[in-house]
Structure 1
């Protein structure tokens, strides 16, 4: 309400000022007319022609009458007012034309002027509603005698209407001003002699102002602020003077301590040097805000310190607030949470059973839908690494406009894990009892209640519905077991004696079982509890063991292997007959009770056996040299194991075998020496490949294995290609000997070597013996030579291609270009404008072709050197294609070729922007080049699958033969041909396209028939996420050149030709063009012209390059658009320009279309 009234008052004051200005304008016009009339009187002596010209140009009615009021002369305006010409009025009286016949002429200003001999004027209202000012100005001769009167009549209807409007508006304004709810005051600035504002005077205040500030109107109106308020310094003078001088309104809040009130003060300027203020009392609002702030502070403290997670949503389910505990419990930052909805799909919530929980089951969603509280919903939130935090969640609606629900949750993960652990332990106990067949029981003495665990039911083979009772306890025991059981229970109850009984029961299914019953009295709590174990299997095992021991004793006694048993201290307890015979004794008694010391020849053998027994508890196949009772030396293998308090041992006599081995070792020594020292790799394997039996040192060195790693391992894994081994075996089966067989073998480090292998087979023994030499180096040298030859051929083809381009494709355009420039230089005066235009167009085309050729050569050179930068990212395909097509519009329009695009919105690819633009530009340029006038070129794109996007360029051109298609992307075969209108071609563009597409993970192919057009296809990786920019159809430069407002532009360029070209390109966009030749000049020009719209910044300038110049400008001007323009085309130049502060980047030579397109990018929408 307050703001509305203030706004209305402002509008009235502005309207009032406008009316006053209109009035003043009319008044000035009127006075000007009067001044002109007087000047005419003074200048009556000028020439008649001049007089007529001046007076006829005045819009007021002017006539000169003599003393008899006869018209001597009248201007055209006067004549037109009575539909006459001036000559027709001469000789007639003025009253004949303008006087009211019904009224007297006494009040006529001309009549009065003749009488009074001074100026006279009256207001005259006509019947058509107009108001006139009529003036009579006496005219005297040189003697001072009156000779006539100049009559002037001026229409002031508009001025009178404005005065009435002002009067009415002032009444409305005054009424509104006096009855305003907000306080208001009008002021004017007071200036000192130097013209500097130093105070302000209060012109008027309304009643609301008096009430709010508790001051009377009479006490302050007409006074200065210092006088009115008794202040040393005018209150708020800085703000008030700024508004009065700039005309910009301001609003600020302040506190009047003496009144204890808060005010919002709006200040505006009704006229320069004056200002009005509107005071709004906001004390109650401030108090409400402070109270609300206190409540919010308390709420915020509770919100953050409560040990539970809290989340608030709006009415649409969007999360609007969350506390720190919520971040911790959910594992999601509050920024990320506030991007989500409570029923969003991104939540990974599971039910207590681990299955996914749908959003409709969330406590928050139910509370929002049902408009009622939902409590104690248990759910788990899945975090990283599939970790689940379990929560107890409650939600309730928030009864405030715009709010949804409040959700609280606490972490019950530890509680859940404790319950789970309890269940696990209980299950473990039950499983243990089941495995051990141990049941538990408890008997309450006073109530006679008997309780069993689950395993008790299993042991007795009864269903879980069976009710055990003390009266039935003996029903399961066998008759012979009952007395002992009853006695044990009786003594436990009477004397508190525990018991441990072995007895037997007969189960409910009639099975007989051996059991162990253990009972422990707890008389303090009047109960007995204990264990009940099924030991049937153990009893059966013990019986079987006794029987097995008897069988074992008979077997050991008759064994041919020596068996011995000793105590841990070595005292012999038992030896069998074979042992007695082995040591040439007569009976076992010769060893019983004695130690084993006498059976070892060497004490260190005995010490080592004892050490191994102490360490490992056993010893296996330990070779010892011992003595018989007769002193004979024997070699034996000893195996022993500690079993409880005894050591059991086995002794094998290997004396004969040792002698045989020694003889064999001697015979093989010579062969082994030759085998080991051979300089070729040698091996022995089983024919079936199951084992490598032996290898020499050379083979180990060649393959990188140790001997232990090679021997006794399958030989098949050493072959890189098992088919080669299969072929080798097939040859051996035919000839039993193969020489110089080439095969690939794997080394330990998994590298592959090529060897020449010679192998001999011994079918009867199933053994292969062979050798090989490593020829990998020789093979690599052969391959390197072949590769070098291929690279040399490709290099020669590249060189030939390059020289062909230099010799023909580059030289021919230069030849034309040079000849035409020579013609222009020598024959220009004799050429017609048409001939000059034709030469200029031809030179422009030649220059364009030269530039494109040079650009392709540079890019090709960068490819050869690996210098093409590659920065793939997600980009909008449609935007890139449209930008690329803008560069080809001119060529297409010149051939009247229709360029069509069919690219779905939102289709994104993962590609390098520069490389992609080069590909599209080349392919579409070729399509235009080989399409006759009036043809059509279409660019189509679609997602071929989830991973790839297919882009195709179709034309209605001349097509290609199959032979040309096959060689299209080869550097060594020329495929270039002229376009339909003689356009040049090198074939280099397609090679660049292939390189760039494959670099981005795509491929290119072509479909074409002669005279039926061509279709080039290429693929790129599909980017499924939306790119940063939105594709908006862009009009061509020719369509939008008239849309840009006139700009103030600075050209920072040290090259005269470049400066001249740029200035000509931008003349349709510019209102002012400033120029700078150095970086320092550019900085100073920008500092002196803060209203610059655009800077075209050359990178290579003296004193300071464009990068540094841009950085310095950005220190004081963040808004001006800066476009870098340079002949550099090095990798990273664009990124360097953007990093320095440039908005965009274009390369030289600059095309007019490209420059205009860039300017429209930043200024096209501002007109």
Structure 2
């Protein structure tokens, strides 16, 4: 039975009650010929019939309407029966049409009834107060007032409740009509009594086509058994959820519905909500097929594929097991920090934090991992955020890119090495002898750091390839400096190294400690100098090893491949040319310096010649003019005096000319020592004999002390020049009555040492650096006014050095000086 059918029964019941209350009164008034009452009741019955028809048409129902209708009918009958036309019932009879309109759902029925009873309320109040309007007794008016007041209050309250109820019903209807889910109301036997409009939209059936039908008839045959079981459980439990079945559509297709149902035991109705799951089911089916295909693909893939959730791998393929080297049980409990390389942990942790923060989209990163076996591998990781079993998770693929990284690193390494070599070549093009050491040290540092060695060195060798000439080196902080490769080796090992370098071969030992073969001197050097790896590359020029470029690793073994060694060999060619260029630059610089010094010396000598030769000739000319002047006769004494002075000037000029000639021959390379054995005692006496008269004239005492029988092989003429200059200088700067001492002896290292000492005025300290040069600022006149050219000591030094000896001075101002000459004895 539907709601409408049940409501219609109630309406018929109310109509019968009304008829029982009204018909007797109507028959009585017909007999009494009270046509006014008959007319009123006839109108009343007509209006009731119209309202019942309205109800049937609109299918509206309100329980309170029929209760109030019944009470009003009984009330009316009571009053009319007892009061007749003259009673108060006439007023109630006039109210019945309005009450009927209101109670049966007429839009304005409530308003009419409220207005009518309000008028009756005002009439009763005015009658009680004035007794004019209604000719009834006070008791009747009071009852009339109370009844009118109660009706007004009840009508007002009911109207308000009805308005609120109407709004609530409208909201429920709107929800019912617009909800996306399918709503069903049915009997316990499964027949449908009401459905929402969405059922027509989704299933295609109209509401009329579904009403009264058993919904199981629309279920797919394969799902009927489950659905009937579900319905039986619903009748027992009263509420069930999560039934999925297929429902027949009008076009013959089936759609998946997910059901939730509740049983109303009071009304014996089932309220059910069904959600269309067709697309979701199709998507799920496609997803399952895709997952199956993905699972098959992932199991066959070499890449590691996984799902990571709550800090652990929850699902993974065989590729990930092979990549990390762990078993399934180990991988399930493995922490990320246990397999990520420590140097890459910070970057990986940053990516993890970004994922935990909810960052969406693909994320890519390259980092190193450590396998269970301790291997280091490069991997490329691509991850995305998904939902797994209702919780956020990360799905990722991990590809082994170790070989690609190694190729990339090797390519980058070679590219940077080539760039470094190009930079070095460019820098050394502009290098000179002054910057060579700085740039060479910088080169060794850059290559040593780049190749991951601990120290580097470059040394040049002599022609026999057994001694170091120049050494350039660099080492890291905390690493001992380079030790000569020839240090602390016996003769056999030295010969082995020299022979090896002469063969132009390279030496490269990646790890001396693990080398199986005997490496000879390399092993010995590694033991003594504490290195693990060594790389030695010869610098070859004109089929001659001129040096070695070397690298040593102390703290760890260093591995370089043949291609890197080939590039470093190219570097040795560059360095060979650099060293050759440096030698040429040094030669040019030396030649330029010598030429500049010669030019300066030449200019000074020209100045000396112009000044020191002109002065004696001016003196000679002046004296000879005096002697030739016939107007002034000269005595013999005067002539002898002038002759003595002329002789002195001539001797000085001769000394100057001899020094100039000797210097000229020396600069042109015409003077070479011609050694002959001489007795040192006789040699000294002969060399100073012609100047003893000067010392005697100044009352100077000359003391000669020579070791008896001392002989030496020297160039007699050169050494006479040396002794002559030193002895005449002692005469010049020793006051009258002073002492000049000449000593000669043999030293313990078989050197002839000659010392010329005086008790003269000494030499100021500021003049000592200029003493053996041609600087005019160091020239001083003797105590007798003798002039000095400044060439003497310079010639002495060069003559002594031609003998392989040395010349130096010890002096104290105002106390005297001692000049030492030391030359090899050369037996």
TM > 0.5: no
Greater C-alpha radius of gyration: 2
TM-score (norm: length of structure 2) = 0.34
Q: TM-score, normalised by structure 1?
A: 0.25
* More RCO (CA 8 Å, sep 6+): 2
